[in-house]
């Protein structure tokens, strides 16, 4: 049975699509069969998949489903028939859709930037995941090298029972560049720190998914 990881966060622009594509590329490199499901009408994930198909001269190394609210559950199930890991990209605020995507998930990955508004949105997203009976992990994204409210945000949410992955993702231009090319930073020649972070995040998520 395929494992389903849903990337969700009610706050827009937290890094759902970016981190999903990065982890997907790392899983593919590790030999996993990956299927992606785009539930966001903005279709950013579809853009990455298109760029990847171009970069690979049309030979896409993943399965892709452009889905919508009323087809979500069926598409996630179908995606599971074609892959070891299904990764679901959610829009920001989308109540009914988010619930369906969480219900289908073995793991909900919640990217959050180290800021108060992200912390508040994370709290709401975690509550929703708990109501749907889904295991959830928060990933701190765009973390500055030092300082900032990251520690405070994490402590606050941990006190309420939130679970974080240990890996923190820095604010790195390499992610935006790789996205344009339909790649993961682990697939680019100078992946650097970004590639190290994604390798560590992928290993952690694989451990949680079992
Ligand atoms: N770690 C990072 N370092 C640098 N830029 C980042 C990082 N994570 C995300 N970004 C940038 O932030 C912007 C928003 O990221 P992304 O689209 O992944 O967020 P999202 O949660 O999917 O947004 P939406 O809610 O609109 O779907 C993008 O321009 C992306 O390149
Ligand atoms: Mg997105």
CATH code assigned at 166? 3.40.50.300
1 alpha carbon to ligand 1 midpoint, in Å? 30
Domain range for 22 is 3-209
Q: For 136-158, write each residue's pLDDT tens digit.
A: 999 999 999 887 777 888 888 88
Query: What is the CA(111)–ligand 1 centre distance, in A?
Result: 10
Query: Rounded to whole angstroms, how far apart are CA atoms 202 and 169?
Result: 12
Instruction: Provide the CB-side half-sphere exposure for 144 (13 A, CA).
Output: 8
Q: Which ligand is closest in space to the CA of residue 185?
A: 1
Q: Which ligand is nearest the CA of 22, by number?
A: 1
What is the per-residue pLDDT for 146?
Answer: 81
Assigned token pair, 99: 């619930």
* Share above pLDDT 90 across residues of the chain, in percent, rounded to a whole number: 84
What CA–CA distance (Å, rounded) separates 36 from 44?
12
For ligand 1, atom 27, name the residue with the nearest CA. 91
Q: Using 50, 70 and 90 to split pLDDT, how confident is the model at 131?
A: very high
**63-66 β-sheet, strand order:** 63-66, 34-38, 85-89, 3-7, 107-112, 136-140
Mean pLDDT of the chain, nearest integer? 94
Q: Which residue has the higher pLDDT, 188 or 106?
A: 106
Percent of the chain with pLDDT over 70: 100
CA 167 / ligand 2 centre spacing (Å): 20
| Substitution candidate for ligand 1 out of 8, 13, 197 with most atoms within 8 A of CB | 13
Q: Which residues line ligand 1 (CB under 6 A)?
A: 9, 12-18, 40, 42, 44, 91-92, 141-142, 169, 171-172, 175-176, 179
**What domain count does the chain have?**
1
d(CA 152, CA 159): 11
Bridge-based pairing state of the strands 136-140 and 3-7: unpaired
Residue 139, beta-bridge partner list:
111
Q: Is the pLDDT of residue 94 over 80?
A: no
CA distance 16 to 18: 6
pLDDT band, residue 96 (cuts 50/70/90): confident
């Amino acid at each position: 049975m395929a494992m389903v990881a849903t990337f969700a966060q009610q706050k827009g622009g937290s890094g759902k699509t970016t981190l999903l594509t990065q982890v997907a590329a790392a899983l593919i490199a590790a030999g996993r069969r990956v299927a992606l499901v785009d539930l966001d009408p903005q279709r950013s994930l579809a853009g990455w998949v298109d760029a990847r198909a171009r970069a690979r001269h049309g030979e896409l190394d993943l399965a892709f489903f452009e889905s919508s609210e009323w087809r979500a559950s069926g598409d996630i199930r179908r995606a599971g028939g074609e892959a070891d890991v299904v990764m679901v990209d959610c829009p920001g605020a989308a109540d009914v859709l988010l619930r369906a995507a969480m219900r289908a998930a073995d793991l909900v990955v919640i990217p959050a930037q180290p800021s108060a508004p992200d912390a508040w949105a994370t709290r709401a997203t975690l509550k929703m995941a708990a109501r749907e009976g889904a295991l959830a992990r928060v990933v701190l994204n765009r973390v500055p090298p030092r300082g900032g409210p990251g520690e405070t945000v994490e402590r606050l949410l941990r006190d309420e029972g939130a679970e974080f992955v240990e890996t923190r993702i820095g604010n790195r231009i390499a992610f935006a560049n790789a996205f344009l090319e339909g790649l993961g930073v682990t697939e680019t020649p100078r992946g650097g720190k970004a590639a190290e972070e994604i390798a560590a995040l992928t290993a952690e998520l694989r451990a949680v998914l079992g």
